[in-house]
Amino acid sequence: FRSMRCHNLHLPNLLPHQHHYHDHHQQQQQQKEMKGVPKGCMVVMVGHEGEEQLERFVIPIVYINHPLFLRLLKEAEEEYGFHHDGPIIIPCHVDEFRHVR
């Protein structure tokens, strides 16, 4: 990564009044997203919102132990905390993420 500061994870918050509807809708969405995800893998979304379209990546779970990915997660913790729902969004340029993979 050229600049680690651009690589924070963003996990959107759930609004309380949307909770029941969102849970049902989220379950359906997660089932759709899980199709085509091999066992031992997970989905992350990558891109700078507003600058480029987010791109979906299916990555091996073992990447979570990789030092670069751990740095991304640590920055996400510092910026956004832990209490979030939704997909992991890594705000870095898609081309940079492809290069690191």
Please give the Cα distance from 81 to 79 (Å, whole number).
6
- Model pLDDT, residue 11: 34
Residue 15 has what DSSP assignment? P
Residue 2 has pLDDT above 50, yes or no: no
This model's pTM is above 0.85: no
Beta bridge partners of 46: 55, 90
- Model pLDDT, residue 93: 81
On whether residue 20 sits in a domain, the answer given is yes
Helix (H, G, I), strand (E, B) or coil at 4: helix
* Tally of structural domains, the chain: 1
Residue 7 has pLDDT above 60, yes or no: no
On whether residue 30 sits in a domain, the answer given is no
On whether residue 31 sits in a domain, the answer given is no
On whether residue 79 sits in a domain, the answer given is yes
On whether residue 51 sits in a domain, the answer given is yes
Domain containing residue 82:
4-24+36-100
